[in-house]
């Protein structure tokens, strides 16, 4: 695991009250950053923020007005923003492959897992530009790289997030802003729900929130624009090697498509 010094920098973590988010908050603070913790759980956010000398903010990340207001508040309190961990996420909770679709639940899933990432990135970019650059790490999942038949809708949202991170990373690289996705395997958090018992019965190894904080640290230290980093139990976090796609009639796509100009 690579080291990185965040002394003097300011970080924002969404979904920071528990699980991966709480571990990320503690790690960022340990690395020297002042941290803002955003979560719907006001008491949980305050508990974690108080433990690291940060600030707690309560808000719904799926609301398009939340992330711009949060970034404004962070800059007002700390004077800057350097690192953003867009971590908030929820499970699908339904199959999504038959006619019995709960549309309200589906919209909530997309709102938290996808819209929040777009809202958060768009709100953060101007603040990071004011510092001459920065880093945005999005919590995705291995379900963003491979199909997870047990939860197709969750798979949909995480594929969307990985694709967005890859494209946004290239688009913002010239601004000194590194956008990357973090794609862990199954993590021992409340998001597992009832599946936790099944994993335990099979002695299936699970990642811990601390493992994800280790991976986050590695991405902050070594991550390149548009990368998707994977982490599995017993392994080290590393950038995923994407396979290229054929060009038109065997030709390399023009630079304007690839975002090099």
pLDDT in tens, 112-136: 999 999 999 999 999 999 999 999 9
d(CA 34, CA 23): 14
Is residue 193 scored above 70 in pLDDT?
no
pLDDT in tens, 12-40: 999 999 999 999 999 999 999 999 999 99
CA 53 to chain centre: 22
Q: Which residues are catalytic?
A: 154
- Burial of residue 238 (number of CB atoms within 10 Å: 0-12, 13-18, 19+): middle
Domains of the chain as residue ranges with CATH: 10-258 (3.40.50.720)
Residue partners of 72: CB distance under 8 A and separation at least 6: none
Q: What is the pLDDT of residue 208?
A: 86
Global pTM? 0.90
Helical segments of 9-65, H only:
19-30, 42-52
Q: Which of 57, 48, 47 is nearest to 77 (CA)?
A: 57
pLDDT band with cut points at 50, 70 and 90 for residue 261? very low
Q: Do 165 and 138 form a contact (C-beta atoms < 8 A)?
A: yes
Q: Do 236 and 225 form a contact (C-beta atoms < 8 A)?
A: no
Instruction: Say which DSSP state 18 is in.
Output: S
Q: What percent of the chain has pLDDT over 90?
A: 71
């Amino acid at each position: 695991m690579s080291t990185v010094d965040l002394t003097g920098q300011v970080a924002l973590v969404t979904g920071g009250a528990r699980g991966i988010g709480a571990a990320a908050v503690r790690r960022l603070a340990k690395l020297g950053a002042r941290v803002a913790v955003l979560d719907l759980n006001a008491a949980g956010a305050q508990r974690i923020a108080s433990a690291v000398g940060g600030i707690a903010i309560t808000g719904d990340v799926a609301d398009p007005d939340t992330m711009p207001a949060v970034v404004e508040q962070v800059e007002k309190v700390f004077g800057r923003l350097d690192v953003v961990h867009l971590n908030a996420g929820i499970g699908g909770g339904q199959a999504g492959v038959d006619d019995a679709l709960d549309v309200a639940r589906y919209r909530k899933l997309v709102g938290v897992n996808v819209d929040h990432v777009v809202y958060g990135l768009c709100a953060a970019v101007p603040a990071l530009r004011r510092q001459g650059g920065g880093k945005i790490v999005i919590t995705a999942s291995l379900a963003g790289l491979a199909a997870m038949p047990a939860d197709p809708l969750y798979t949909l949202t995480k594929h969307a997030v990985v694709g967005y991170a890859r494209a946004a990373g290239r688009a913002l690289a010239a601004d000194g802003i590194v956008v990357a996705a973090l794609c862990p395997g199954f993590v021992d958090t409340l998001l597992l729900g009832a599946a936790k018992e099944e994993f335990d019965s099979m002695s299936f190894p699970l990642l811990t929130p601390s493992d994800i904080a280790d991976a986050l640290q590695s991405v902050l230290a070594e991550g390149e624009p548009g990368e998707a980093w994977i982490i599995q139990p017993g392994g080290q976090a590393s950038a995923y090697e994407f396979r290229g796609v054929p060009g038109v009639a065997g030709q390399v796509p023009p630079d304007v498509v690839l975002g090099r100009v």
